[in-house]
A and B are shown apart, each in its own frame.
Chain A
Amino acid sequence: MARITFKNVRHAYPSPKGQAPVYALKEINQIWEDGGAYALLGPSGCGKTTLLNIISGLLTPSEGEILFDGEEVTQLPTSERQIAQVFQFPVVYDTMTVFDNLAFPLRNRGAEESLVNQRVEQIADMLDLTDSLKQRASGLTADGKQKISLGRGLVRSDVNAILFDEPLTVIDPHLKWQLRSKLKELHQQVGMTMIYVTHDQVEALTFADQVVVMYDGTVVQVGTPVELFNQPHHTFVGYFIGSPGMNVLPCTIENGQPIFGNNPLKTSYPVTKALTGTTEVGIRPEFVHFSQSGIPVSIEKVEDLGRYKVVTLNHEAEVIKMVMKEGEDLPSSSPMISFDPDYTRVYCDEWLVKEEGVNE
């Protein structure tokens, strides 16, 4: 097992001659701690899979270095990196039995047959595959096949990390849940570094200790699910995590205080830096409340989602969403709202304006 370090990694896929390269990954510096459970979250095409393939060695980055426990492995081929990877669509060797499939990575590395038996049985037990060990792998259902793919990743005890590339895409929703908890359980049992790529925030937040959010080829924030929710470092994180996503509203700054429309807003810390660029204020719908005074709005729409209601409000041309808990009522006339100052954030050119003197 190992700690994986990315140093100034950039990657561009070959582009047609005469055109400037388009970077799928723009400069990534990132440390993946040994034994961590990471989720790599981001929209399709943000570079998640590229990053994963660089770790496993299926791709060599155009620039930068990869270190495993401080040793450079950038040019090392996949087979020498001791990385396991599970793909979006199940890969099974159709002609082999389930047992032989699971034993394949071990046998390729010349493991003793007794060790193979022991490991395969252990893994099969973990994944509830014991009954079908003697079956042909081609006869299994999609989730059975994906379990085999998972199993082939887990069967080697010497792997540095297991990478999952949206492994549950083809699985039925109710089995998704099962397999995800299985993975979490396995992580606790074996303690290997796991990196889990997904574009589904629920999947990411339930699986991982640390969520790495990617957007447009860069890592925009790394943090626990709670941190991502409370303190999005980038407006994209705000949008992408949470349902509905964060309200991002245009604002101006006067005397360290954001002004939205004509309404000055309170924040937990003043903006002391001089800002050049587009300034915006971000507030999650959960922290928008009706109040006696504040910003006058009109109610456009109320969606009842059972446990809570999502209210869509208009203030001049801006749309604001708010979440209303069960039991709360809509105000009868001329509604006004206020934002919770502790969770009101100011963004400049999409990045969070941090409190000065505070390092995170």
Chain B
Amino acid sequence: MNKTQNNKAWWLVVPVLILVAFNAFIPLMTVVNYAFQETFGDNVFFWEGTTWFEQVLRSGRFHDALIRQFLFTGMILAIEVPLGVGVALTMPRKGPWVSVCLVLMALPLLIPWNVVGAMWNIFALPDIGLLGYTLNSIGIDYNFTRQPFAAWMTTVVMDVWHWTSLIVLLCYAGLSSIPDDYYQAAHIDGASRWAIFRYIQLPKMKRVLTIAILLRFMDSFMIYTEPFVLTGGGPGNTTTFLSIDLVKIALGQFDLGPAAAMSLIYFLMVLLTCWAFYTIMMRNEEQ
């Protein structure tokens, strides 16, 4: 749409600006304050320069949390994207079952995050949970509170459970925008199932899929509540992702300087990745 130049439009944006800036600028400035200074309370600050940043960037603990974070994000993307696309492709396109599928699939998205964690905790309890009990009774030694591997897997499967539906819904929406004519033409052109996917369905899903991956990347990078409730970051530190580590440092140890520096580094990483995604997406769209 060709838009009119009108700087008065700023007035329409002002309320949004005030509310968001109130929530974004002041806390961000607080974080920046802590990141460059040392305080012992009473609003007395000492300039520390980039000390905290250096400390965080050099600390093995941060590196470990970062690696775990990337591993986790990589794993859930590798599972959720193909699974989500697969489910979207096989979902009914018409009829009463569509609504049933949509409602049931959207359900996990609307459960408070700590309830998701609690639910999976209950589900996976080795002696009395449905999953834990079943696994153990078929001879798999499973205890997510003690075995690092089991804790990891449970966290990953929980995230798959929680968020794959988002990808399904997005892809389904992309698919339902394809007119029947396209499928009919493809049959007439003798296209194989794969060719239909490759040349009709995938191009239509590309945009929504990019957004889905972007959202999943962002949200999985921020993940805090669900794994915290499920495993508390443990056993040991095996499921301590960036956010959990950050909260441990900030609220657990009250090391505000390093926590603030880490927050900024962390925020910057998310921002950069998203900016790169956004730019690439916009460039693709212009082509």
Interface set of A (CB-CB < 8 Å, partner B): 53, 56, 58, 77-79, 83-85, 87-89, 91, 93-96, 104-105, 108-109, 149, 152
A108 CB contact (under 8 Å) in B179, B182, B195, B200: B195
Q: A89-B179, A95-B203, A108-B195 are in contact. Are A79 and B190 (CB under 8 A)?
A: yes
Interface size for chain B: under 10, 10 to 19, 20 to 34, or 35 or more residues?
10 to 19
Known A-B contacts A89-B179, A95-B203; A109 and B190 likewise in contact (beta carbons under 8 Å): yes
Contact (Cβ within 8 A) B188 A84:
yes
Instruction: Answer whether residue B189 sits at the interface, using C-beta atoms and an 8 A cutoff.
Output: yes
- Establish whether residues A78 and B188, one from each chain, have CB atoms under 8 Å apart when the complex forms: yes
Q: CA–CA, A89 to B200, complex, Å?
A: 15
Residue of B nearest to A152 (CB): B189
Report yes or no: B191 in contact with A91, Cβ–Cβ below 8 A: no
B195: which A residues are within 8 A, CB to CB?
108
Contact, CB under 8 Å: B185 / A91? yes
CB of A161, distance to nearest CB on chain B (Å): 11
Query: Which residues on the A side are within 8 Å of B179 (C-beta)?
Result: 89
Going nearest first, the 7 A-B pairs with the smallest beta carbon separation are: A108-B190, A91-B185, A105-B189, A78-B187, A87-B181, A93-B199, A79-B190
From A53, which residue of chain B is reached at the shortest CB distance?
Answer: B184
- Contact indicator B190/A83 (Cβ below 8 Å): no
**What's the nearest-Cβ distance from chain B to residue A226, in Å?**
34
Q: Which B residues are in CB contact (< 8 Å) with A91?
A: 181-182, 185
- A sample of 22 cross-chain residue pairs with beta-carbon separation below 8 angstroms, ordered by A number, consists of A53-B184, A56-B184, A56-B188, A58-B184, A58-B187, A79-B187, A79-B190, A84-B188, A85-B184, A87-B181, A89-B179, A91-B181, A91-B185, A93-B200, A95-B199, A96-B199, A104-B191, A105-B188, A108-B189, A108-B190, A108-B192, A109-B190
Q: How far is B182's CA from A53's CA once the two chains are assembled, in angstroms? A: 14
Residues 142 to 191 of chain B near chain A (Cβ within 8 Å): 179, 181-182, 184-185, 187-191
Contact B188 A85, beta carbon cutoff 8 Å:
yes
Q: How far is the CA of A96 from the CA of B188 in the complex (A)?
A: 18
Closest approach, in angstroms, between the C-beta of B232 and any C-beta of chain A? Answer: 47
A89 proximity list for chain B (CB < 8 A): 179, 181
Complexed CA–CA distance, A88 and B179 (Å): 11
Whole-angstrom distance between the alpha carbons of A95 and B185 in the complex? Answer: 16
Which residues on the A side are within 8 Å of B185 (C-beta)? 85, 87, 91, 149, 152
Specify the chain A residue showing the minimal Cβ separation from B202: A95
In the bound complex, CA of A301 to CA of B169 (Å): 60
Q: How far is the CA of A80 from the CA of B195 in the complex (A)?
A: 17
Interface residues of B in 105-157 (CB under 8 A from A): none
Cα A242 to Cα B74 with chains together (Å): 68
- Contact residues in A for B199 (Cβ distance below 8 Å): 93, 95-96, 104
Among B182, B188, B195, B199, find the residue whose CB has the most chain A CB atoms closer than 10 A.
B188
Beta-carbon nearest neighbor of B182 in chain A:
A91
Identify 5 new A-B residue pairs, CB closer than 8 A, beyond the known A56-B184, A78-B184, A87-B181.
A58-B187, A84-B188, A85-B188, A104-B199, A108-B195
Closest to A84 in B: B188
